[in-house]
């Protein structure tokens, strides 16, 4: 087997470029989690209805940490898919509640906040980048799996 062939057959998630990708996705999720943990106490007091906005922030942050670790440790298709779901759903939520005045829905309080500020913008960018990079990782893992099957 040639060196090139051996490199091609090496699992995708162990190549340097893929390790970098895993680190970037995890970093984006950590930024997202830190911002949400930081803002949670105040937002819980501001919107305590239902489960409370601060508690929703804490749940989102905990999910981001867990999935970030999953991506770091495994770098597999399911890990990237989970990262895509967590980062993507957080980005959709922040954009939705920035521009649409959605009333309280069941345990979810009204969280309309028609402003941007540094921390919020930072987490939104991290969520967007995290989702995009997780999508790239997912596609790379899928194409690598197809190549190995051939």
Partner 1 sequence: MRNNPKAMMAIVGAAALIALSGCGVSGNGYQGGSSSQPTAASSTAPPSGTSQSLTITIKDFGYQGPVSVSPGAKITVKNEDTQAHTVTSDDGKAFDAAVDGGGGTAQFTAPTTPGSYPYHCAYHSNMHGTLVVK
Segment 22 to 61, residues that bind partner 1, using CB under 8 A: 39, 42-43, 45-48, 53
Question: What one-character-per-residue DSSP string does 104-132 give?
Answer: PBTTBPP-------HHHHHHHHHHHHHHH
Nearest alpha carbon to residue 117 among 22, 29, 15, 42:
42
- When asked if residue 14 is in the footprint of partner 1 (CB under 8 A), the reply is no
- x-or-dash string of contact with partner 1, 91-130, rule CB under 8 A: ----------x-x------xxxxxxxxxxxx--xx--xx-
- Region of residue 52 (left: phi > 0; alpha: psi -120 to 50; beta: else): left
Burial of 111 from C-beta contacts in 10 A (0-12 / 13-18 / 19+)? buried
Closer CB to partner 1, 66 or 108, in the complex: 108
- When asked if residue 139 is in the footprint of partner 1 (CB under 8 A), the reply is yes
Residues near 9 by beta carbon (within 8 Å), at least 6 away in sequence: 1, 148
- When asked if residue 132 is in the footprint of partner 1 (CB under 8 A), the reply is yes
For the bound state, the minimum distance from the C-beta of residue 39 to partner 1, rounded and expressed in Å, comes to 8
Closer CB to partner 1, 69 or 135, in the complex: 135
Q: What does the binding site for partner 1 look like in residue numbers (CB under 8 A)?
A: 17, 39, 42-43, 45-48, 53, 101, 103, 110-121, 124-125, 128-129, 132-133, 135-136, 139-140, 143
């Amino acid at each position: 087997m040639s060196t090139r062939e051996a490199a091609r057959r090496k699992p995708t998630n162990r190549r340097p470029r893929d390790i970098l990708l895993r680190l970037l996705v995890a970093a984006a999720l950590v930024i997202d989690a830190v911002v949400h943990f930081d803002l949670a106490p105040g937002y819980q007091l501001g919107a305590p209805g239902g489960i409370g906005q601060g508690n929703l922030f804490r749940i989102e942050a905990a999910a981001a940490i867990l999935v970030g670790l999953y991506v770091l440790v495994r770098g597999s298709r399911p890990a990237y898919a989970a990262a895509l779901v967590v980062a993507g759903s957080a980005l959709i939520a922040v954009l939705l509640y920035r521009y649409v005045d959605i009333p309280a829905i069941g345990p979810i309080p009204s969280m309309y906040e028609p402003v941007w500020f540094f921390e919020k913008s930072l987490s939104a960018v991290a969520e967007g980048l995290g989702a995009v990079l997780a999508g790239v990782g997912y596609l790379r893992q899928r194409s690598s799996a197809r190549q190995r099957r051939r």
